[in-house]
Amino acid sequence: MRFLLTGGAGYIGSHTCVSLLDAGHEVVVLDNFVNSCPEAIARVEKIAGKSITLYEGDCCDAAFVSSVFDKEHIDGVVHFAGLKAVGESVRIPLNYYQNNLGATMTLCRVMAEHHVKRIVFSSSATVYGDSKEVPFNESLPMGECTNPYGWTKWMSERIMRDIAFADPEWTVVLLRYFNPVGAHESGLIGEDPSGIPNNLMPFICQTAAGVRDKLSIFGNDYPTPDGTCVRDYIHVMDLADGHVKALEYAMDHQGTEIFNLGTGEGYSVYQMVAAFERANHLTLPHVDAPRRPGDIAVSYADPAKAKAVLHWQAKRTLDDMCRDAWNWQSRNPHGYRQA
């Protein structure tokens, strides 16, 4: 099969390219490199020993997206393209609504015009809001998001469900990711955040590399066993493999289906620090700091549906996640940029 990946040069997209190529599929990537670079695709090609067709342009640009579908035979789409910095979305909400919803609506319209009606979408556990019921199960009602980024996921889900409801030829698979971390085991591709990382694992890695002085642990008075927040960290290669299963599922089903992609295990921030130190035989400078606004105490997946329906489950351990994240960081201290 030949799949289009919007945002395929980004962190999760590049790892998914590897999994799809390894599974024998062909990959076309559309990306404007607003948060990535072509080097990621070159490295994917090196890992997989296969080539990728790459189009540089904006997913909100209907003429451009349409030109890609005119040139390529596409069996299905994974829609990764979007802005994802939670704090930035609070400061410049309109950019997030315009980019993330614009990309979703333009893409779906162009897909329908080209009679390609199978889409897998990168959603997030953030759509559950601050649910008191853990683990998060797909049948829970969607919650209140705490930031504009989260609302763009919530609204994109709604838009795609409505499209599939109106036209039964559509297949929409909504994947709710928990907390992707780690890197391909080669250390050739990984997460390359611009500026100061918002997320825990890249901040830990940059602290271990000496780029940051110390890790601040945001809040130690949450109602959790050790007082720090609990999350479901999932190895990005497990997540990537989940996309292969989701696309293969989409090829012979119709309608909308939602799947959590998580491990089902929650780890606290203190536990993550200890695991990183243990896996990589190093000491990580860290201090306790005030809570970060908008954080919820506990988030972890009920992954049973993905296991039963997609025959997918996360295989890699917390040690694998910590080791592979550090392998990437230590081999590429400046990410994809040269020093």
Q: Which residues bind ligand UFG (CB under 6 A)?
A: 84, 86, 124-126, 150, 179, 198-200, 203, 215-218, 229, 231, 269, 292, 295
Query: Mapping DSSP to helix (H, G, I), strand (E, B) and coil, where does residue 113 land?
Result: helix
Both structure tokens of 256? 């909308």
Q: What are φ and ψ of residue 71, in 5° steps?
A: -85, -30
Between 5 and 217, CB nearer to ligand UFG:
217
Taking the complex as a whole, the smallest distance from the CB of residue 36 to ligand NAD amounts, in Å, to 3
Both structure tokens of 332? 């590429």
Burial class (CB in 10 A: 0-12, 13-18, 19+), 149: buried
**248: alpha, beta or left? (left if phi > 0; alpha if psi -120 to 50):** alpha
40 CB neighbour count, 10 Å cutoff: 26
Catalytic residue check, 55: no
Taking the complex as a whole, the smallest distance from the CB of residue 245 to ligand UFG amounts, in Å, to 20
Between 55 and 270, CB nearer to ligand UFG:
270
- Name the catalytic one among 55, 128, 149, 233: 149
Taking the complex as a whole, the smallest distance from the CB of residue 160 to ligand UFG amounts, in Å, to 18
Alpha-carbon distances, residue 72 vs 27, 68, 69, 75, 146 (angstroms): 11, 6, 5, 10, 39
Taking the complex as a whole, the smallest distance from the CB of residue 308 to ligand NAD amounts, in Å, to 22
Dihedral sign from CA coordinates of 40, 42, 46, 49: positive
The pairing of strands 171-177 and 255-261 is parallel
In this structure, are residues 178 and 300 in contact, taking their beta carbons and an 8 Å threshold?
Answer: yes
Query: Mapping DSSP to helix (H, G, I), strand (E, B) and coil, where does residue 173 land?
Result: strand
Between 229 and 239, CB nearer to ligand UFG:
229
Residues of this chain that interact with ligand NAD (CB under 6 A) are 6-7, 9-13, 31-36, 58-60, 80-84, 99, 103, 122, 124, 177, 179-180
Binder of residue 150, out of ligand UFG, ligand NAD, none (CB less than 5 to 8 A by kind): ligand UFG
Taking the complex as a whole, the smallest distance from the CB of residue 15 to ligand UFG amounts, in Å, to 16
> What's the chain's length in residues?
339
Binder of residue 10, out of ligand NAD, ligand UFG, none (CB less than 5 to 8 A by kind): ligand NAD
Taking the complex as a whole, the smallest distance from the CB of residue 219 to ligand NAD amounts, in Å, to 19
Between 82 and 219, CB nearer to ligand NAD:
82
Q: Which residues, listed in sequence order, are joined to residue 293 by a DSSP beta bridge? A: none
Position of minimal CB gap to ligand UFG: 229
Between 199 and 254, CB nearer to ligand UFG:
199
Between 153 and 184, CB nearer to ligand UFG:
153
Binder of residue 254, out of ligand NAD, ligand UFG, none (CB less than 5 to 8 A by kind): none
Binder of residue 288, out of ligand UFG, ligand NAD, none (CB less than 5 to 8 A by kind): none
Nearest-angstrom CA–CA distance, 286 and 201:
13
Which one, of 91, 106, 194, 195, lies nearest residue 147 by Cα?
91
Catalytic residue numbers, as ranges? 149
